[in-house]
Amino acid sequence: MTRLTIESLGAQGDGIANIPSGPVFVPQALPGEEVEAEIVKGRARAVSVVTQAPQRVTPPCKHFHDCGGCVIQHLERSPYEEWKRQKVVQALGSRGLQAEVEPLVSCPAHARRRVALTARKIGSRTLLGYNARQSHHVVDVEECPIARPEIVSALPQLRELAAMLAATPKPFRIAVTVTQTGLDIAVDGAGKVAERARQKALTFSVEQGFARLVLDGEALVERQKPVLAVGKAAVIVPPAGFTQAVAEIEQVMAELVCGHLEKSKHAADLFSGLGTFALRLAENRRVHAVEGDAASLAALDSAARQTPGLKPLTVEKRDLFHRPLLAKELDQFDGVVFDPPRAGAEDQCRQLARAKVKRIAAVSCNPGTLARDLAMLVEGGYRITRVVPLDQFLWSPHVEVVALLER
């Protein structure tokens, strides 16, 4: 065992100690602490804390030390929020961008409406939970302080459902989303499920009041359409449709975007998904929504058509990674919002940088790719007016960001 002094907190939530051979990453250790650990390939394991940092707190979840779902429940709130804010500060600084980053918008516990669980059947026992950190071992959980109560209370039933469908000894995925009509459950990778097991799972899902059960993309049963409220609209979520993880954070993001584009008369929502921004923006202006996923776009279009009082909302199926809107196409809009996957919107931002759009709202779950995209926009003549980090992924290394720009 080696005694280490933790000097800083890394981007993934590990404590970092420096020794002659280089940095050592120490899970669940905090700056200022001394720990005893075994070092294997630059990582510490079998860690024992000798001297605790004053910022250390008792983790709220009993599974924290085993589960890999959360990495930093042991740090008190104020330094935790500053750690996340600094991720955005450092990302912008790495691109030479000058912008004040506001304090982190906090996320309450028990607020996450969408979780991805891992299930595995071992003999007569079925595990359901999250992978241990840097491992394929499934940690069987009985509680989860990030998830909505509807999910936590259903863990025994979800475990029972997993046991019915498990047709492989390998781990498989169960995605659960809380909707207005019940839990929307999607199971993937459970193996070749026999017809008898499928029927049993179907009956069980109806008895438990689940809104829908989807197996490898096929809806086994849909007791009720899974519905989410988006502004004034009600959106029917397609199987595997992307939703923002926390409704409270989505609302703040939407308020920032709509407020920034308040004076726009014709806005574009790029990478629109189910219409998180498009449907809210359409309450006061014309909107053109562009999305590559056909099912999500259809759900958005249907919701818009069935919501009275919206301004005209048009939709376009288009892969913006391979065929971004060109500058001339963008010039018809006086406001744009884009919210791409983690890879960012590099090619689309090259076109935006050449366009005449007055206001842009950039939304991202990856500060690194966001900073790259913002740098292109700034070089093209835009000015960053506001940067707001949001804690959509509580106790994880991830942070959501909304950046507002004006030409």
Residue 174 has pLDDT above 80, yes or no: yes
Query: What proportion of the chain, given as a percentage, has pLDDT over 70?
Result: 100
178 lies in a domain? yes
Q: Are residues 218 and 257 located together in one domain of the fold?
A: no
Q: 131-135, 262-266, 372-376 — which is least confidently predicted?
A: 131-135
Q: Are residues 180 and 314 located together in one domain of the fold?
A: no
Quote the domain boundaries for residue 270. 81-107+246-406
CATH number at residue 31: 2.40.50.140
Structural tokens at position 230: 């988006």
Q: Are residues 258 and 395 located together in one domain of the fold?
A: yes
Residue 177: per-residue pLDDT: 97
Q: Are residues 397 and 274 located together in one domain of the fold?
A: yes
113/131 Cα distance (integer angstroms): 19
Q: Are residues 184 and 85 located together in one domain of the fold?
A: no
The answer to whether 251 is a known ligand-binding residue is no
- Taking the alpha carbons at both ends of the chain, their separation in whole angstroms is 57
Please report which confidence band the pLDDT of residue 1 belongs to, taking 50, 70 and 90 as the band edges.
confident
Average pLDDT over residues 90-108: 97
393 lies in a domain? yes
Arithmetic mean of pLDDT over the chain: 96
Residue 95 has pLDDT above 90, yes or no: yes
Residue 343: per-residue pLDDT: 95
Average pLDDT over residues 342-368: 97
Residue 41: per-residue pLDDT: 84
239 lies in a domain? no
Summarised one tens digit per residue, pLDDT across range 40-86 is 888 888 789 999 999 999 999 999 999 999 999 999 999 999 999 99
Residue 241: per-residue pLDDT: 85
Q: Domain ends where: 178, 196, 225?
A: 225
Please report which confidence band the pLDDT of residue 27 belongs to, taking 50, 70 and 90 as the band edges.
very high
The answer to whether 291 is a known ligand-binding residue is yes
In this structure, are strands 266-270 and 34-40 parallel, antiparallel, or unpaired? Answer: unpaired
Q: Are residues 315 and 259 located together in one domain of the fold?
A: yes
Residue 87: per-residue pLDDT: 97
Sign of dihedral through CA atoms 94, 95, 96, 100? negative
Please report which confidence band the pLDDT of residue 184 belongs to, taking 50, 70 and 90 as the band edges.
very high
Q: Are residues 162 and 209 located together in one domain of the fold?
A: yes
236 lies in a domain? no
Q: Are residues 158 and 175 located together in one domain of the fold?
A: yes
> Do 355 and 327 contact (CB within 8 A), yes or no?
yes
> Do 146 and 70 contact (CB within 8 A), yes or no?
yes
Phi/psi of residue 353, each to 5°? Answer: -65, -25
Q: Are residues 22 and 166 located together in one domain of the fold?
A: no
The answer to whether 333 is a known ligand-binding residue is no
> Do 269 and 278 contact (CB within 8 A), yes or no?
yes
Q: Domain ends where: 160, 195, 225?
A: 225
260 lies in a domain? yes
Phi/psi of residue 68, each to 5°? Answer: -95, 5
Asked if 365 is an active-site residue, the reply is yes
Q: Are residues 393 and 277 located together in one domain of the fold?
A: yes
Report how many domains make up the chain.
3
The answer to whether 271 is a known ligand-binding residue is yes
390/365 Cα distance (integer angstroms): 9
Residue 240: per-residue pLDDT: 80
56/174 Cα distance (integer angstroms): 33
CATH number at residue 187: 2.40.50.1070
Q: Are residues 254 and 385 located together in one domain of the fold?
A: yes
Residue 133: per-residue pLDDT: 84
Q: Are residues 347 and 264 located together in one domain of the fold?
A: yes
Q: How far is CA 141 from CA 122, 162, 372, 377, in A?
A: 15, 14, 38, 44
346 lies in a domain? yes
Sign of dihedral through CA atoms 29, 31, 33, 39? positive
Structural tokens at position 200: 């049993």
Residue 401: per-residue pLDDT: 98
Name the active-site residue from 61, 67, 258, 365.
Answer: 365
Collapsed DSSP state (helix, strand, coil) of residue 249: helix
Residue 135: per-residue pLDDT: 84
Summarised one tens digit per residue, pLDDT across range 109-160 is 999 999 999 999 999 999 999 999 878 899 999 999 999 999 999 999 999 9
Q: Domain ends where: 191, 225, 259?
A: 225
284/280 Cα distance (integer angstroms): 8
In the beta sheet, which residues pair with residue 181? Answer: none
